[in-house]
Chain A
């Protein structure tokens, strides 16, 4: 990967630049409890929760582990787990 002086980038650079690395807690969704209200998708400040084949899935390439989704979920279907590597 070559960098251009002045941090000059082409459009859609955020698709290349992943920002999930500074997460401490990772959201885990219990899809059996989920009622598909989509509040997690709406409240996610990163906009990184999307429906995939009917299920709400956080995109861990961008999720910062902020817990807003878990806090907002009326079913408590999302829990935050310490992510250890």
Chain B
């Protein structure tokens, strides 16, 4: 089952299947990332869309609004006064049995914070694209992942996409995972703001009929219905509250298998596979393994190609599912590394950074005693270049002889401090 940690084979299989499928279904278009995702949402046939515009998410909901206005999509599109209202509307709609969609970023996600817990606590399978962006202050509209990583504990699943195609495909997969009767949890599909939302690249837009075949209609067991009254998210005192949290925890654990399963089912219909929980690139024989999330993977792959041609054994593990955190899959795919370097676009001010601490926690009780070092980079939209990755690899190689610094800001401009 653990296809994600066996990257080479799965990539080969996927590319073969992709090749066969392309001949039949290719609908490749050069479109903006936001349009591609909006198109994917349209194919999921949401009953209710509720969102508040915020850069760099705006284009996604703008496109959806246009689709509804043009009659291409039969959804209730609600314009609201804030992100807090946007998600609150979906609490009610989803409890009524509607398939619901929203999208936000950064300060908008922060404003939703209270409702994020309500959605997951009431077990409502809302899907939301997060166009990852830096948090203020200082005010900054560019990409990093502090927003979603900061919301890692709210009970939502979090999938991080590498490119536009994966953002599209993960959005469709997300509904299938979220609405499964064993899971019933909301999902954030995270895509890097601007880098993925505003880029124009060739994308195979989803086929509506295939999407319908892949994703069954949403039929929840219980809904809000005046004829059969129910209350969602009612009061729970100390004698039962723990058990509700446990149920959510259990559902996230079940999602580990479900994410893999849905990724495989997706491949059967659409011919594309990105790994379920993880994916890898030249990780099998790698001495230096970089672990990361999101769109920076493209740059890292190029850097790895260059480093490999120079004889350096560098590989990559891509964390696709950050919540649930794939502890077993990570242990399996990192067991042979000589040194592990985590690169992420977030920082936990006062500690290290989300992925780094989670990964170290995952390895601590295993037999793996590989040095792990972490780097934050790309904050507030600063570019991460191939040169930066080379520096990271140099530092990682040095750490094999002894760790000098467990965590650092990779591209810090010391001269302006």
Contact = CB atoms under 8 A, between A and B. Distances in A.
Interface of A: 1, 3-11, 13-14, 17, 19, 21
Contacts of B251: 5
Interface stretch (B80-88, B235-243, B398-406): B235-243
A10 B222 CA distance: 11
28 contacts: A3-B236, A3-B247, A5-B247, A5-B251, A6-B121, A6-B123, A6-B124, A6-B184, A6-B232, A6-B233, A6-B244, A7-B122, A7-B233, A7-B235, A7-B236, A8-B230, A8-B232, A9-B230, A10-B229, A10-B230, A10-B231, A11-B229, A14-B235, A17-B234, A17-B235, A17-B237, A19-B237, A21-B237
B239 to A, nearest CB: 9
Given A17-B237, A21-B237, A5 B230 contact: no
A5 B247 CA distance: 7
Q: Which of A1, A3, A6, A8 has the most CB of B within 10 A?
A: A6
State the majority secondary structure of interface residues on B: loop
B232 to A, nearest CB: 6
Interface residues of B, number: 20
Contacts of A17: 234-235, 237
Contacts of A7: 121-122, 231-236, 244
Contacts of B123: 5-6
A9 B184 contact: no
B234 A13 contact: yes
B237 A8 contact: no
A60 B123 CA distance: 33
A5 B222 CA distance: 11
State the majority secondary structure of interface residues on A: loop
Contacts of A19: 235, 237
Interface of B: 121-124, 184, 222, 229-237, 240, 243-244, 247, 251
Nearest to A17: B235
Nearest to B233: A7
B345 to A, nearest CB: 33
Nearest to B181: A5
Contacts of B122: 6-7
Nearest to A11: B229
Contacts of A5: 123, 184, 244, 247, 251
Kindly list the 3 A-B residue pairs having the minimum CB-CB distance in the complex, ordered from nearest: A6-B123, A6-B122, A11-B229
A10 B243 CA distance: 18
Contact of A9 (B121, B234, B237, B247): B234
A8 B184 CA distance: 13
Given A5-B184, A6-B123, A6-B184, A11 B237 contact: no
Contacts of A1: 240
Q: Which of B122, B222, B234, B251 has the most CB of A within 10 A?
A: B234
A8 B222 contact: yes
A3 B244 contact: yes
A77 to B, nearest CB: 31
Q: Which of A1, A9, A11, A13 has the most CB of B within 10 A?
A: A9
Contacts of B124: 6
B243 A3 contact: yes
Nearest to B124: A6
A6 B224 CA distance: 13
Contact of B231 (A3, A9, A21): A9
Contacts of A21: 237
Contacts of A10: 229-231
Contacts of B121: 6-7
Nearest to B184: A5
B236 to A, nearest CB: 5
Contacts of B184: 5-6
